[in-house]
Structure 1
Amino acid sequence: MYKHIALLVRREGTTHDEFRERWLEEHTPIARDIEGVVRYHTVVPTDPEHAEFDGIAELYFESLADLHDALRSPGSRDDDPTKAIAAKAREDMDDFLAVEKRPRYIGEEVVQRDETGGDTDGLYKHSAFLVRKPGMTHEAFREYWEHQHTPLARDIEGVVRYHTVYPSDPERAEFDGVAELYFETLEKLHDALGSPGSRDYDPTKEIAAKAREDVDNFLAVEERPRLIGREIVQKDETDAEGY
């Protein structure tokens, strides 16, 4: 399954609460009906004052061709969409988003662990947007992430679902990958990662601590945005267990 991830930043002069109301009540009903979208998630930060973004919007498509057809997005940022609803959603964003400040990412999601049956609605999610270390190629980064780090991360205490998202066009992508860890409660997330805000502190759980130590081997840690939030499934026309 391919997805388009938008990290949202509110317009200057707007409060987070005003942004959230405008996004969820007015924009989301448009965005979830964009042509080709089969699943649509919104992720609202649990601690907006410490969060690096005001929210995350995730649009899922059955194929990369369907995504490009709807959004005209060969890389990580979309061009002017030609589909009617997609064009309406793009125009609507200018009313409440600082568009130039919102990173975008297109990639293929791979489920590495699942104890939820595919139902992520209401779960708490730790999203990490990964940037490789200087001097490392994307290919070397992916090899290490996929084969060395992922077996650690998916076994972090309390994780009930874990995704890795690989960029469809690494040369144009704003990140080298996205890692998404799901927890049943915010308490379990904090207990594992020591994260009251959007960036983790020193985790005390054994596997979480080992995974945190390992990231220094392949990530430019200071350059990787993070967000902790609660995911709501706004639309689902998939076989959720496997997407």
Structure 2
Amino acid sequence: MYKHVALLVRKEGLTHEEFVDHWQTEHAPIAREIDGVRRYQTVLPTDPGNAEFDGIAELYFEDLDALHDALGSEGSRDYDPEKGTAKAAREDVDNFLAVEKRPRFVGEEVVQRDDVDGDTDGLYKHSAFLVRKEGLTHEEFVDHWQTEHTPIAREIDGVVRYATVLPTDPENAEFDGVAELYFEDLDALHDALGSEGSRDYDPEKGTAKAAREDVDNFLAVEERPRFIGRETVQKDDRS
């Protein structure tokens, strides 16, 4: 499926708690009714004090044209829809978001492992927003990521679901891809991938160690935002 990922930064003057209250009680009911949305999930940080963003909003569409119609293309950061619920949602973001500080990503999800049959509600999630290493083309980055790194990452201890998201328009994308690893237990996530406050975490054992060592082969690690949070599925109309 095609997916719009918004990395949310709260509007100046709001506390994180005020931001979350508006997002979950006022905005989410609007966003989940946007035309074409088949699934909508929000991710709240497990450690807001150390998180790089205040939250993540993810909307899925079966059709890329429907996504663009509702939320704009990768190259239209200031897109303002003219109709329906998408218009109401876009107008509401100004009430709680610093829109100019909100990275976004449009891509196609590839599920690499799924031990939970798609039921991610309540799971802990590590999202890595990937930037390729200097000297690599996007195509070279994708080839290494999908053929060399993914087979290692999906076997990390504790991982129950692993998905990669490839940009539909790499030339205009803010990142080269997104890697999403889900865990049932937050301690298992921290053990494998570090906490929100340990950006340079270097695991000492097993597949997590091998995965961390391999990222230096294709990623600009210092330019890679990451986010650890707990996912809530707000809507799921997939067949």
How far apart, in 1, do the equivalents of 2:234 and 2:198 lie? 23
What corresponds to 1:185 in structure 2?
A: 185
How far apart, in 2, do the equivalents of 1:216 and 1:74 lie? 27
Question: CA contact under 8 A between 1:39 and 1:235: conserved in structure 2?
Answer: yes
- Normalising by structure 1, we get a TM-score of 0.95
Distance change (3 Å), C-alpha of 1:2 and 1:177: same
Distance change (3 Å), C-alpha of 1:86 and 1:8: same
What corresponds to 2:63 in structure 1?
A: 63
1:134-213 residue pairs with structure 2 within 5 A? Answer: 134-197=134-197, 199=199, 201-213=201-213
Matched, 1:93 2:93: yes
What corresponds to 1:118 in structure 2?
A: 118
Post-superposition offset of 1:204: 2.6
Distance change (3 Å), C-alpha of 1:226 and 1:198: farther
Ranges in structure 1 where 5+ consecutive residues have no aligned partner? none
Q: Matched residues, percent identical? A: 73
Question: CA contact under 8 A between 2:51 and 2:196: conserved in structure 1?
Answer: no
Question: CA contact under 8 A between 1:51 and 1:198: conserved in structure 2?
Answer: no
- The residue type equivalent to 2:204 in the other structure is T
- The residue type equivalent to 1:82 in the other structure is E
- The residue type equivalent to 1:172 in the other structure is N
SS at match of 1:119: coil
How far apart, in 2, do the equivalents of 1:21 and 1:117 lie? 30
How far apart, in 1, do the equivalents of 2:182 and 2:221 lie? 20
- The residue type equivalent to 2:113 in the other structure is R
Deviations 1:49-102 (A, max 9, x none): 000000000000011111112223253735111231101100100011000000
How far apart, in 2, do the equivalents of 1:200 and 1:113 lie? 26
Post-superposition offset of 1:200: 5.6
Deviating runs (4+, > 4 A) in structure 1?
none
Matched, 1:49 2:49: yes
Deviations 1:176-230 (A, max 9, x none): 0000000001111112223253736111331001100100000000000000000
How far apart, in 2, do the equivalents of 1:119 and 1:89 lie? 26
Distance change (3 Å), C-alpha of 1:119 and 1:213: same
Question: CA contact under 8 A between 2:38 and 2:62: conserved in structure 1?
Answer: yes
SS at match of 1:50: coil
How far apart, in 2, do the equivalents of 1:196 and 1:167 lie? 25
How far apart, in 1, do the equivalents of 2:200 and 2:185 lie? 16
Superposed CA RMSD? 1.3
- Normalising by structure 2, we get a TM-score of 0.97
Question: CA contact under 8 A between 1:9 and 1:55: conserved in structure 2?
Answer: yes
